[in-house]
Structure 1
Amino acid sequence: MGTKKAPRRTAERILESSLALFNRFGEPGVSTNAISVELNISPGNLYYHFPAKDDLINALFVQYEQALQPILQASDGVTNVEDAWFFIHSVLEVNWQYRFIYRNLNELLSRNRQLETGVRQTLEDLTQSLLRLLNTMQKNAALNAPPVGWDSVARSMVLLLVFWLSYEYALDPRNALEEDNAQNAAMRNAAHVLGLLAPYAVADQQAHLQRLIDAYASQAKTETAVA
């Protein structure tokens, strides 16, 4: 007779359901009552685990940080365009999984000091990680050094990695952040981030970089046409 799986803890179920609802409808559009109804639990049960909605948001942000940090810490192992492609995709996958954070960032930060501190630190960690990536690629002769250093390039990469989904949402608010659009959005985003490396890539890396960018653009057009 097989061993029964232990039921998931209520707090885990609340976080999982909240994340799905926040991603789908945006955090402001989801009440704690809606989360309770989705889980078929009483509002009091939810309140017992998370006394305020911001407690839910902060717990989800901790999950986001825990998923992102191992990727950022590996950036000094990126030595060429292929490695950079994998790094960028890994960051984008985590950002998509917790996309509600950046979708409603201004509103969330206006009322949540803990989140404000966490987001600021995450953006700085991402910037420093990308600076290590760019310097390592330069040391491994994959990139030529820019005349004024890598800071501007790194911060431009951060802007695209973090706020691209807001741009997609502005263009198509009814569909952009739906699960079916994840791959397409990631391809467009990755193509633009990789494009920031193009002016500095050495000849052989430049060719590989252009192939990746062209492949992204072509596949994104195909996916859009099919949709």
Structure 2
Amino acid sequence: MRLPPEGRTARASPDRYRTVSGSSNRFSMTALPQRCSASGCRPRRRSANWSNASTVCPRPPGLPDASASDRPVGAAETAASRKAGPRPGVPLKTRDRILEASLQLFNEGGLAVVSTNRIATEVAMSPGNLYYHFKNKERIVDSLVRRFELRAEPIAASLPTVRSVDDLWLSLHLMIEVIHAFRFVFRDADFLIREYPGARVRVRKFTGSALEATRLMCANLAACNVLEAAPEARDAIAFQIVFTAACGFMFSKLLPSGDIAAAADPGRAAYQILTLLTPYLDADSRHYILYLRSKYRT
């Protein structure tokens, strides 16, 4: 998907923008241009002409670099290799090929219906060869959930440091990208927590920590006078943010429109979260969020 015209500036390098596949014509997950507050809790006052925004918001503390977030992470990798990532031009290891293929199949077909034989066929190997690398399907699921954690936990951990609407939007955007990339985790949560005890513990732990981090983020934004809501309302907002990000895809599939492409679009969740937040933001932040929200409906 193409970057909005106002984002194509000399300062915008390819690594600063990312696009999530599967977007419909209505919602867009293309990263948007930002204006940032250099200091203080309140965002800098911006001009009314939002379309002229051209500067790019730096990542909040603790967020991973977008260009490195898609690298494969195998269960057998050491801490050093995880940090370095694969070198350009070096073929994926067999374990990583299996994990990449499994992730795609789980996302597209569903965790319950994809068998190890189907995965072996996808990577053009015998079932026996696949079992050499992963003893069973549960080991594959556990490895993918660990990969999800490695990408999502740094973003969730950064949420309590959010002090402006710029960082708020960017953190939510990145989290929705990761959840969409591993959407089988929450879409097939009922099957996952019933069949895979190890993955169940990890997913429940992450969900609880993400909810607590979002609550702290809302409290911090309220202390900075960016979010105007009482404590009880802030807790409800935090719950709805996590719920929409994690479960919005599954709910969208139940809508009577039957538009599978639109239901699979992570931009739908981003739009709904920004809409949820809009009434509770201070006037300056509200105008900026309305501008950002409109970019998800292009």
Is the TM-score greater than 0.5? yes
Shift of 1:7: 4.1
Distance 1:211 1:53, change over 3 A: same
1:35 to 119, 133, 147: 119
User: In structure 1, the residue corresponding to 2:217 is in which secondary structure?
Assistant: helix
Kindly provide the amino acid, as one letter, of the partner of residue 221 in structure 2: M
Partner of 1:59: 143
Normalising by structure 2, report the TM-score: 0.65
Gaps of 5+ in 1: 220-227
Provide the residue aligned with 2:250 in structure 1: 166
Q: 2:221 maps to which residue?
A: 137
- CA deviation string 1:37-59 (max 9, x = no partner): 11111111111111111111110
Whether the 8 Å CA contact 2:275–2:293 is kept in 1: the answer is yes
Alignment match, 2:93: 9
* 2:253 alignment partner, SS class: helix
Measured in 1, the distance between the counterparts of 2:188 and 2:248 equals: 13
Q: Which TM-score applies when normalising by structure 1?
A: 0.84
Partner residue, 2:47? none
Matched, 1:103 2:187: yes
* Residue aligning to 2:15: none
Is residue 219–residue 231 contact of structure 2 (8 Å, CA) maintained in 1? no
Partner of residue 296 from structure 2, selected from 196, 216, 223 = 216
Task: Confirm or deny that 1:198 pairs with 2:278.
Answer: yes
- Could you tell me which residue of structure 1 aligns to residue 199 of structure 2? 115
- Closer, same or farther: CA 176–168 of 1 in aligned 2, 3 Å: farther
Question: CA-to-partner distance for each residue in 1:117-147, whole Å, 9 max, x for gaps?
Answer: 1111111111112112112212222112325
* CA contact 2:157–2:213 (8 Å) conserved in 1: yes
- 80-89 or 146-155, larger mean C-alpha shift: 146-155
Which stretches in structure 2 are left out of the alignment for 5+ residues?
1-87
User: AA paired with 2:215?
Assistant: L
Structure with greater helix share of residues: 1
- CA deviation string 1:166-213 (max 9, x = no partner): 012233778348xxx76xx22221121122222321111122222222
Whether the aligned pair in 2 keeps the contact of 1:75 and 1:129 (CA below 8 Å) is yes
Q: Is residue 82 from structure 1 mapped to residue 166 from structure 2 by the alignment?
A: yes
Distance 1:136 1:50, change over 3 A: same
Q: Superposition RMSD on alpha carbons, in Å?
A: 2.1
Size of the aligned set, in residue pairs, is 210
Secondary structure in 1 aligned to 2:227?
coil
Provide the rounded CA distance (Å) in 1 between the counterparts of 2:89 and 2:210: 38
Change (3 A) 1:176 1:101: farther
Cα distance change on mapping 1:214 and 1:28 into 2, 3 Å = same
| Amino acid aligned to 1:210 | L
Q: What is the distance in 2 between the residues matched to 1:10 and 1:169?
A: 34
8 A Cα contact 2:165 2:226, kept in partner: yes
Q: Deviations over 1:17-39 (max 9, x none)?
A: 11111111112221111111111
Distance 1:28 1:83 in 2: 37
Which structure has more RCO (C-alpha within 8 Å, separation ≥ 6)?
Answer: 2
Larger displacement relative to structure 2 (48-57 or 192-201): 192-201
Alpha carbons 1:168, 1:176 under 8 Å: kept:
no
Distance 1:147 1:103, change over 3 A: closer
The amino acid that maps onto 2:271 is A
Contact 1:81 1:142 in 2 (8 A): yes
Return the alpha-carbon distance in structure 1 between the equivalents of residues 276 and 259 of structure 2: 29
**Residue of structure 2 aligned with 1:156, choices 240, 254, 279:** 240
Structure 1 distance, partners of 2:280, 2:158, is 22
Deviation of 1:93 after TM superposition, in Å, equals: 0.5
